[in-house]
Structure 1
Amino acid sequence: MVNERTATRPSVDIPRLSHWLDRHDLPGGDGDLEVELISGGSQNLLYGLRSGAARLVLRAAPQHATTEQAAGMMREYRLVRALADTDVPHARARAATDDPAVLGSPFYVMDHIDGWSPTQGWAEPFATDLTTRAGLAVELVDGIARLSRVDWQARSLQGFGRPEGFHERQVDRWLSFLAAYRFRELPGLDVAADWLRGHRPRTYRPGIMHGDYQFANVMYAHDAPARLAAIVDWEMATVGDPLLDLGWALIAWPPEGDDMRHSRYLDLAGMPPRDDLLEHYATVSGRPVDDIDYYVVLARFKLAIVLEKTVARGKASVKGTDDPYAAAFDGIVLELLRKAAELSRSTNLK
């Protein structure tokens, strides 16, 4: 039986996919395969696969993927495979191919995670019992603390990133990125950039970092107490400084970030203060968090520059092709840079 659900999804040759699954001893290889698009567009595509009671997820590069996008998909698979048998919550990777003859672009298949995401609304009891939300934050930080402990060299991730000179190239790399589309003055940008150049961390131990770590990229198990079910969306992962993941997670965290209205996409009521999360991260990871302000400033600086590209594209677009995110990101960019500059001026880092 072949059941192609969701008519609007990009075309998938299900018999061909079923044959590929069979060659890898995965469910769905007997032809009893249902495929449903979960999300997709110009970025990566995500499909749910079902065969009887078995469920898997297929993550693919977009149709007509560029060479860079195709390589990125296989790079992501390499990272997720390297996490096998670690205590980092993730969806187990099962098999992958970069042969376009199967689906038209590289893809990999992983286990399905039965969980929920806060970006889709608070699940019960977290929606009504604010005391349970503290556990969500602790679990969020716990995930990257565990990730930072993984021995990336023992996991054959040499060459996966460029840990040498990681901090020395951050500011100029992102300013160069911005220069390609900058169209306006950005208050706070130069203040943050100058401060970051002069306050690089005193110690640095390379490790695996997710690269876009936030509530939007994790899933939780159902019911309380909170338990992190999986970290997802690894396309930005690299070997660098794992503490930047912590700074990224704390971009708008209370109490220092309480006045950030544009940058918060979740109600953080009930969440513990930043200092409690720093203590937990330090205990689990074994890494010092004394320089956390540097990482928060860098995270705000970097994210602002990334989002400004969408704002610039929206400003340059002709009527009828406006990016719906451009207007929303406008306020976020300015707020991130304002807060990056404020924190750099107020911190006691030497």
Structure 2
Amino acid sequence: MSAVTSPVEGVDLAAVARWMDGAGIGSGPIADIVAISGGTQNVMVRFTRDGAGYVLRRGPLRLRPASNKVITRETRALRAMAGTDVPHPRLIAACEDPGVLGDAVFYLMEPIDGFCAGQGLPELHANGAGVRHQMGLELARAAATLAAVDHVAVGLADYGRPDSFLERQVPRWRSELASFDALDGYPGPAIGDVDGVAGWLDEYRPVTWTPGILHGDLHASNVMFSRAGPEVVAVVDWEMSTIGDPLLDLGWLLATWDLGDASRDFGGCLMEAGDIATHQELIAAYAETAKGGRADRDLSRIDWYIVLACFKAGIILEGTHARACAGLAPVETGDRLHHAAVRLFERAQHIINA
């Protein structure tokens, strides 16, 4: 085949084509190459070959020690979703040979005919208050649908460590926050009362819960919505998925929902347009979908899960700010995500005070 010039740094499409040849995936030249924006880390590119569409996903240009493991885990999660009712991109194939793309593993998935609410709204959604209101409810229902999946039955029994999952969260993320101090130029976390929020989480932690699949980063910018209506057509970005307490996904959705001037990375275009569902309506939609099934859990402690989501998400976002201070990430991105971390801790504190 002729040489392929990729417009996406870190993706040698000629090498990808050779790998596809060996795997028996299509033939002929790669065409219609488009870089997919969104997120702050992983690299994605869309292309066609032999009349079929593909999306390639790999880790960030600057691979971290766990980047390839994360991509491999995403591959496994998507493979497990096949045959379930969870909307997701269909996995086509995975390359676990890091030599193909210069030390980065990757996978191919089918393109999704949909849009990300964080990047803009089609005319139907921009002009339809009722459609926007329903989008949030559909997202809550998608969370309940995922929580209903039997992780053992789909082959994910060893995908995470559910034992003491909730007990591990606060020390795990406090340790992560402390690790940022090793980055040159980072002044330390000025994001809120970390100790106070951590203490509250430890004091009021639920004693009993039911393990299940946790997406880990479920918010309005990590799903694709239908162009023809409010439905969620795919839950994407499975890099933080594990086996844990699925109610944290609902807490995460509520923590990041309508976060004011920090909503940009959590479906900002949808939030800015207004007429969106309230927190109570999202909880009710989740409960209605979950009723009578594996996802039918006690929602009376949902505020605790929202606070935990604020705590965890805030620390994760502050990590990008810390890396930006050390010259390892764009300063603008670091500043923006630091602001979001502050807003998340403010939301946590508001719930605690209430």
Normalised TM-score (structure 1): 0.87
Q: Distance in 2 between matches of 1:171 and 1:310?
A: 19
Alignment partner of 2:314 out of 299, 304, 316? 304
Alignment partner of 1:334 out of 308, 333, 342? 342
Alignment partner of 2:300 out of 290, 309, 315? 290
How many percent identity over aligned positions?
37
Unaligned regions of 5+ residues in structure 2, if any?
Answer: 182-187, 291-295
Which structure has the higher relative contact order (CA within 8 Å, separation 6+)?
2
Residue type at the aligned position of 1:293: D
Q: Distance in 2 between matches of 1:86 and 1:339?
A: 34
Give the drift of 1:18: 2.7
Q: Distance in 2 between matches of 1:242 and 1:228?
A: 18
The DSSP-based 3-state class of the residue aligned with 1:116 is coil
Residue type at the aligned position of 2:9: R
Contact 2:48 2:54 in 1 (8 A): yes
Q: CA RMSD in A?
A: 2.5
Q: Deviations over 1:220-274 (max 9, x none)?
A: 11122x11110111111111111111111111546xx6xx433463326111221
2:29 is equivalent to residue 32 of structure 1: yes
Contact 2:36 2:44 in 1 (8 A): yes
Partner of 1:194: 199
Q: Deviations over 1:264-297 (max 9, x none)?
A: 6332611122112212212222222111100111
2:71 is equivalent to residue 73 of structure 1: yes
Mapping of 1:104-253 within 5 angstroms? 104=102, 105-181=104-180, 183-224=188-229, 226-253=230-257
Q: Distance in 1 between matches of 2:84 and 2:242?
A: 17
Residue type at the aligned position of 1:119: G
Unaligned regions of 5+ residues in structure 1, if any?
Answer: none
The DSSP-based 3-state class of the residue aligned with 1:102 is coil
Partner of 2:262: 262
Q: Alignment length, in residue pairs? A: 336
Residue type at the aligned position of 2:311: F
The DSSP-based 3-state class of the residue aligned with 1:80 is helix
Residue type at the aligned position of 2:222: N
Q: Distance in 2 between matches of 1:252 and 1:94?
A: 31
Q: Distance in 2 between matches of 1:82 and 1:292?
A: 27
Of 189-198 and 236-245, the range deviating more from structure 2: 189-198
Q: Distance in 1 between matches of 2:190 and 2:29?
A: 57
Partner of 2:184: none
Partner of 1:51: 49
- Cα–Cα, structure 1 residues 185 and 26, in superposed 2: closer, same or farther, change >3 Å? closer
